[in-house]
A and B are shown apart, each in its own frame.
Chain A
Amino acid sequence: MGKIEWAMWANEQALAAGLIYATGGIVGVAGQFRGWQFAAFGIAAGVFVCLLEYPRSKRAKGTSVERTGQYCFTACVKAFGPLTRNYYIRAFLHAALCVPGGFMLATVLGSVCLAIASLIYLSAAIHGEHWEPILPRTEPPKRVGESIKEPPQNPPPRPPPELRRKKVDNLETAAYDNPMSVTSNE
């Protein structure tokens, strides 16, 4: 199926699952359904999953596309170090979070979606992937004039004057009068 980074799809799936989990929870609490406590948990778990999954990981191969404004989330998620870096932990975490949702109808869908995301993360972990933060590139500042520290002491080497006379009929050699070769492939 080509070299896929499963974590990318798991990330999309988990983010969607978090949203659905939270929405189901909101409906359950707002409608005061039976078992609304599970719905309240669903809201909390859904929001937590969304925050965890919002920052995209840096891809192992190819260009990574950030989500808008994900830098602050990246900083938070990065702070947890190996807990968030490892996908086995994430798979287990999602599996644990989805269990209470199964006890109430409003959160069942979010729960199943999160379970699927957990399975895809497990697949990602088995393939050896891990989460890498996308950090803004720090460009080395252009040092202007660093090479102009010392002016040259000696004039450039020149051949004697009779060889320096230009030949007018051949325009190309007249334009560049280099006695020594300056290109690498001559």
Chain B
Amino acid sequence: MGNFAANEGLSIFVILVWLGINAFLFVHFYMAFLIDRYYYTRVILGHALSWARAPAACLNFNCMLILLPVCRNLLSFLRGSIQCCSRTAARQLDRNLTFHKLVAYMIAFHTAIHIIAHLFNFERFMDSQLMINSSYLPYVLSQIGNNDNRSYLNPIRTNETNPTIVMFTSIAGLTGVVITLALILIITSSMEVIRRSYFEVFWYTHHLFIVFFIGLVLHGVGRIVRGQTLESVKVHHPIECHSQFETWGQNGTNCPEPLFAGNAPMTWKWVVGPMFLYVCERLVRFYRSQQKVVITKVVMHPSKTLELQMKKKGFKMEVGQYVFIQCPSISQLEWHPFTLTSAPEEDHLSVHIRIVGDWTQALYKACGGDKTVVLDAWTLPKMAVDGPFGTASEDVFRYEVVMLVGAGIGVTPFASVLKSVWYKHVQENKNVFTKKIYFYWLCPETQAFEWFADLLQSLERQMTDKNMSDFLSYNIYLTRWKDAEAAHLRVQYEAEDDPITGLKQKTRYGKPNWDNEFSAIATQHPGSKVGVFLCGPTALATALGKQCHSHTESGAEFIFNKENF
């Protein structure tokens, strides 16, 4: 369990601090409405007033937070600056989407409490207008301010209405309905089923957040939460005067009529900062997308993989980063993320794209994938690239021993890492902190090896030349195979090179036994921190995460990093 603290400690701390702040705000604002200023408001509403204001404060806090984890460029910048101080803190920023979802759930939760409390509030305000009886304090309170329409307490000013009409005719009510609807539509279209199948619906509906934030800022403009004014409290003490309500303002009493006013809107103070940051983020994304990008090479690999090599002026990247690519001739609004497979030392940037959906299919056609003639460079479509954005693979060279696990197309960030390894060691001979890399590639079909096998072969050759064959240990696992292939492979067992990849290290069949692998690595590198990097499905992530937590032989520590789109 020792690794658990190293892997999860900071996350748990952040979550606890966030929950703590929520709890504090809830209790603080609950109590803030139990003071004398709101005595008469509570006469009508009871504790429902506090039950509505407390989640409102939490909503302000969470709506402030929710925009921050999605400012990709800001996070990349922060990540770069923090990395020199603390690797763990930088890793926290990888979990931004998880945090965004947690905050969203909290917003939904507090919205529910807020609405239910306000249902009671509306009902009680309506009741106090309908119980027409001068000996009934709520009714008397509701009549205050009938002359000037400014110093009233009860926002429902007449008894010839009903709560539904009041809701639709007050600013707070109308904006409340609009933003709640926006929130519900955002949440239902963000369900995993919809998000994974129809990303566009999710993405476009999510932009209702603009409606949400505008409505949120306007929500308090009507000043519907009312309490006694400070001047009125000085001359009319609610505790002493409330029982004498039948004689307020008459000659000879100490209690003039109380006067009420609404609270100024507060939400804008909370959200204006993050809204500004988010606007800057979108502007940065737009500016970057306008920079000229030229496609220099298109390669069509088997297993429906398209490689695009591009050049963009002033583009700088680190290993394992990803970019967002847009092709205006296919769709003006769609940006899709792809991991970079080129190394920082190369003069171009390349991505390997699997052809699975509409957009990738259209890109394939636009780049001439289905034609056999060579296309001229000027016929290739114009592209826009936003990024690069950092993910976990950036940290690879900060560990002494590294385990890279890629499943299928998930091997792409590691292609970048291995290429960079080749450049660093072989060409530039820099002293690299990383001493040993264990590479695992799980693949369902042999054709997928083709483009990556070339890279591994050249690495293998270079390393043998430099007497460094121990540096990289790679294991390729073929998880599915046809019987006909199996027969051929059985015969070739004795051959020196692997029959599928042509590499010296043999392809294995089936899935790796992670227990054995982790134990072997732990015993080989006692006392060192081993970075485990995965790009693959969630099931594999859970399995590897468990292995990292449970293997602590010889004092080796496994730190788990997962990236996922």
A residues neighboring B (CB under 8 Å): 1-5, 8-9, 12-13, 16-17, 20, 23-24, 27-28, 31, 33-34, 56, 59, 62, 65, 102-106, 108-109, 112-113, 116, 171-172, 175-176, 183
Alpha-carbon distance between A9 and B205 when the two chains are bound, in angstroms: 11
Alpha-carbon distance between A2 and B357 when the two chains are bound, in angstroms: 9
Residues of B within 8 A of A24 (CB): 119
Q: Is the CB of B188 within 8 A of A1?
A: no
Alpha-carbon distance between A62 and B356 when the two chains are bound, in angstroms: 12
Interface residues of B in 102-160 (CB under 8 A from A): 112, 115-116, 119-120, 122-123, 126
Alpha-carbon distance between A148 and B494 when the two chains are bound, in angstroms: 34
Residues of B within 8 A of A16 (CB): 184, 187-188
B327 vs chain A, min Cβ distance (A): 15
Task: Tell me if B167 counts as interface (CB < 8 A to partner A).
Answer: yes
Q: Is the CB of A105 within 8 A of B188?
A: no
13 contacts between A and B (CB under 8 A): A1-B201, A2-B198, A2-B201, A4-B197, A20-B184, A31-B120, A105-B122, A106-B119, A108-B167, A108-B177, A109-B115, A116-B185, A172-B491
Q: Is the CB of B193 within 8 A of A62?
A: no
Residues of B within 8 A of A28 (CB): 119
Q: Is the CB of A3 within 8 A of B358?
A: yes
Residues of B within 8 A of A104 (CB): 164
Interface residues of B in 165-197 (CB under 8 A from A): 167, 177, 180-181, 184-185, 187-189, 191, 193-194, 197
Given contacts A31-B119, A105-B122, 9 further A-B contacts (CB under 8 A): A1-B204, A2-B199, A3-B358, A17-B184, A24-B119, A31-B120, A104-B164, A105-B119, A172-B492
Minimal Cβ-Cβ distance residue in B for A12: B188
- Most chain B CB inside 10 Å of its own CB: which residue of A17, A23, A105: A105
Q: Is the CB of A9 within 8 A of B188?
A: yes
Q: Is the CB of B201 within 8 A of A33?
A: no
Task: Tell me if B265 counts as interface (CB < 8 A to partner A).
Answer: no
User: CB within 8 A of B123: which of A3, A33, A59, A116?
Assistant: A33
Chain B residues bordering chain A, tally (CB within 8 A) = 35
Alpha-carbon distance between A28 and B122 when the two chains are bound, in angstroms: 12
Residues of B within 8 A of A106 (CB): 119
A41 vs chain B, min Cβ distance (A): 15
Task: Tell me if B200 counts as interface (CB < 8 A to partner A).
Answer: yes
B residues neighboring A (CB under 8 Å): 112, 115-116, 119-120, 122-123, 126, 162-164, 167, 177, 180-181, 184-185, 187-189, 191, 193-194, 197-201, 204, 357-358, 484, 491-492, 494
Alpha-carbon distance between A107 and B445 when the two chains are bound, in angstroms: 55
Alpha-carbon distance between A13 and B186 when the two chains are bound, in angstroms: 10
User: CB within 8 A of B181: which of A62, A103, A105, A113?
Assistant: A113
Task: Say whether, besides A9-B188, A12-B189, A31-B119, A109 and B180 are in contact (CB < 8 Å).
Answer: yes
Q: Is the CB of A4 within 8 A of B164?
A: no
Q: Is the CB of A105 within 8 A of B115?
A: no
Task: Say whether, besides A4-B200, A105-B122, A109-B180, A183 and B484 are in contact (CB < 8 Å).
Answer: yes
Minimal Cβ-Cβ distance residue in B for A184: B484
Residues of A within 8 A of B163 (CB): 105
The 4 closest A-B pairs by CB, nearest first: A105-B163, A12-B188, A4-B198, A13-B188
Alpha-carbon distance between A108 and B116 when the two chains are bound, in angstroms: 12
Residues of B within 8 A of A175 (CB): 491
Alpha-carbon distance between A20 and B180 when the two chains are bound, in angstroms: 11
Residues of B within 8 A of A27 (CB): 116, 119-120
Alpha-carbon distance between A103 and B184 when the two chains are bound, in angstroms: 21
Alpha-carbon distance between A20 and B187 when the two chains are bound, in angstroms: 13
Q: Is the CB of A113 within 8 A of B197?
A: no
Residues of A within 8 A of B164 (CB): 102-105, 108
User: CB within 8 A of A2: which of B185, B193, B200?
Assistant: B200
Q: Is the CB of A13 within 8 A of B120?
A: no
